[in-house]
Structure 1
Amino acid sequence: MTDTSWSLPDDGEAVRDALVSWYEDDHRSFPWRETDDPYAILVSEVMSQQTQLGRVVTAWEAFLDRWPSAEALAEADRSDVVGFWTSHSLGYNNRAKYLHESAKQVTTEYDGEFPKTPEELQNLQGVGPYTANAVASFAFNNGNAVVDTNVKRVLYRAFDIPDDDTAFEEAAAALMPDGESRVWNNAIMELGGVACKKTPSCDAAGCPWREWCHAYEIGDFTAPDVPTQPKFDGSRRQFRGRVISILKEYDELPLSKLGPRVRVDYGGEYGEGWLRELCSDLAEDGLVELESERSDEGKNWVVRLRQ
């Protein structure tokens, strides 16, 4: 049941003006904040889901140099897109696949014109409510209030909003000024990323909400738990990426030859059964083909990139 006991400050206009002024006076510079191209913004949002923003800048610029438009990406070979994703350590390769498919949708289903509302944008492959809202906001100034982990932390601390998704969404919507989703969503996410981090920097960052902030008043900066990114080294994500990278070079390999290239300790617990399961997952994601072939030695499994 949603907790409805919370309330926002009465002087809402002053709260809004303080945040927007703080953001416009000084904020981190990211290249996707300098464009309203929905394609470029979608790429930045997808990349940012699992990667630190500092590393995203280099990958984002390289990606747009190679595929500068939705049309260019739609015409690309999917294995090239996935290979780029892997080489830049951008997280799950599924995101590259969905981005490629969404570019095809824009060119074939929308005649090259991006949909403009959060609802329409969710028709694109792999675009959920948060990403759709972000693209609608930053490209078209036509979004709703964005609620990510940073925004939740800000609302929880500043206005004592309960740790409840519906409450966070309602509070964020009530705060956002009409018709200003672009600057507002940038500003409140910046506040969470710069001043109201897990360890806050209220005074050092000049937080514009100190006079209204409940946590600042009582000195208790408790916040909802924020899931941490699983360690990448030795993770399933890392080995999935290695499989794709190796197949980019060899096109196809039997598991017996692929395994030692994927991990140096291949065998035993991490033998054929482990690798076949890993490749089966990639096959279900549409990234590879896994087939069994009969020979004099018996059944052999062969894996190849899906074209």
Structure 2
Amino acid sequence: MTDRLPELPADADPDAVRRALVSWYEADHREFPWRRTEDPYRILVSEVMSQQTQLSRVEGAYADFLDRWPDVDALAAADRGDVVAFWSDHSLGYNNRAKYLHEAAGQVVEEYDGTFPESPGELQELMGVGPYTANAVASFAFNDGDAVVDTNVKRVLHRAFGVPDDDAAFEGAAAFLMPEGDSRVWNNAVMELGGVACGGTPRCDESGCPWRRWCHAYETGDFTAPDVPEQPSFEGSRRQFRGRVVRTLGEFDELTLDELGPRVRVDYGGDAGEEWLRGLVEDLADDGLVEPTERDGDVFVRLRR
């Protein structure tokens, strides 16, 4: 924890810094459906979908998902294969997320009588819910979270107040800034600032950034940001072909490797032949997503039900 930010002027009032951001956010911000609810189930769905996925793509998938499984009971009762197939059909990335979301819904129903736990610590007991997601759900559903620290928040804190590129420093600075008992509006506001005003290319004046008067980067023109690992290209990646396997199996009860391969990639064969496909299937089986069975000298594969 810190009692001041490195580049915050000594005579600056931290409360004025806080008020400026909240006022800016409340006056005008992007409208997303998950910002219009305090339902922890819907917020969890949005958080899991948003991991490394563009929000514009998430919006349509989010609406379709809730049309099909509108509450935690409906998702818990769903067939896991259907949930995974939905995930793949909507290009939401890593299908494990669908599996874990389905299992988390089952935990809420079976272990918590259908009522979500409220604290970040308790929420982390749910399958696939890490510290960031737990804190986001606690903040946006129950107003009971800690300060969120994601890539956007790190960039803002580093540029505006000279917070060093160190996780502990970022967490301390974020905690110092967040008004006590206001995690819902604060975390939305600071992430909005990073997403709208302080992106890779800053839009300080165009967005009316509320922290310009205190911002070290705005004063000096040095908009350096912490290094963030780039997401590997999806096109042609192992992730893409894993998704195709799941999507293809969603259309059939069962396929042999020979039947599955050409449906997954048009250039199936050679280095991208049976050995390569077996590796994909084994990975998916280890993740509990598919079931390979050997019969009559062939390997048959189906979605795990």
Give the deviation of 1:230 after TM superposition.
Answer: 2.0
Give the deviation of 1:234 after TM superposition.
Answer: 1.2
Output the amino acid matched with 1:103: A
Give the deviation of 1:7 after TM superposition.
Answer: 6.0
Partner of 1:88: 90
Partner of 2:119: 117
Partner of 1:194: 196
Partner of 1:163: 165
Partner of 1:306: 304
* Stretches of structure 1 lacking an aligned partner (at least 5 in a row): none
TM-score if structure 1 supplies the norm length? 0.95
The answer to whether structure 1 residue 15 and structure 2 residue 17 are counterparts is yes
Output the amino acid matched with 1:304: R
Distance in 2, Cα, partners of 1:260 & 1:19: 53
Distance in 1, Cα, partners of 2:22 & 2:218: 20
Distance in 2, Cα, partners of 1:261 & 1:218: 55
The answer to whether structure 1 residue 129 and structure 2 residue 127 are counterparts is no
Output the amino acid matched with 1:125: M
Residues 7 and 216, structure 2, Cα contact 8 Å, conserved in 1: no
Match of residue 287, structure 2, among 266, 285, 288: 285
Distance in 2, Cα, partners of 1:7 & 1:105: 45
Q: Secondary structure at the match of 1:290?
A: strand
Residues 8 and 171, structure 1, Cα contact 8 Å, conserved in 2: no
Give the deviation of 1:193 after TM superposition.
Answer: 0.1
What do you get for the CA RMSD once the two structures are aligned?
1.4
Partner of 1:147: 149
Match of residue 72, structure 1, among 32, 56, 74: 74
Give the deviation of 1:5 after TM superposition.
Answer: 9.0
What is the correspondence of 1:171-186 to structure 2 with a 5 Å cutoff?
171-186=173-188
Partner of 2:256: 254
What is the correspondence of 1:6-85 to structure 2 with a 5 Å cutoff?
6=6, 8-9=8-9, 10-85=12-87
Give the deviation of 1:227 after TM superposition.
Answer: 2.4
Distance in 1, Cα, partners of 2:219 & 2:181: 31
Output the amino acid matched with 1:281: D
Q: How many residues align?
A: 301
Q: Deviation digits for residues 134-175 of structure 1, max 9, x if unmatched?
A: 000000000000000000000000000000000000000000
Output the amino acid matched with 1:71: D
The answer to whether structure 1 residue 265 and structure 2 residue 267 are counterparts is yes
Distance in 1, Cα, partners of 2:5 & 2:81: 51
Output the amino acid matched with 2:302: R
Q: Deviation digits for residues 148-205 of structure 1, max 9, x if unmatched?
A: 0000000000000000000000000000000000000000000000000011000111
Q: Secondary structure at the match of 2:98?
A: helix
Match of residue 236, structure 1, among 235, 238, 251: 238
Percent identical: 72
Q: Secondary structure at the match of 2:250?
A: helix
Output the amino acid matched with 1:303: V
Q: Deviation digits for residues 239-262 of structure 1, max 9, x if unmatched?
A: 111111111122211111110111
Output the amino acid matched with 1:124: L
Bigger relative contact order (CA 8 A; separation at least 6)? 2
* Stretches of structure 2 lacking an aligned partner (at least 5 in a row): none
Give the deviation of 1:113 after TM superposition.
Answer: 0.4
Residues 160 and 215, structure 2, Cα contact 8 Å, conserved in 1: yes
Distance in 2, Cα, partners of 1:211 & 1:40: 37
Give the deviation of 1:44 after TM superposition.
Answer: 0.3
Do the aligned partners of residues 92 and 134 (structure 1) sit closer, same or farther apart at CA in structure 2, a change above 3 Å counting? same
Distance in 1, Cα, partners of 2:8 & 2:304: 52
Q: Deviation digits for residues 18-51 of structure 1, max 9, x if unmatched?
A: 0000000000000110000000000000000021
Q: Deviation digits for residues 102-136 of structure 1, max 9, x if unmatched?
A: 00000000000000000000000000000000000
Distance in 2, Cα, partners of 1:248 & 1:16: 49
After TM superposition, what 4+ stretches of structure 1 lie above 6 angstroms from structure 2? Answer: none
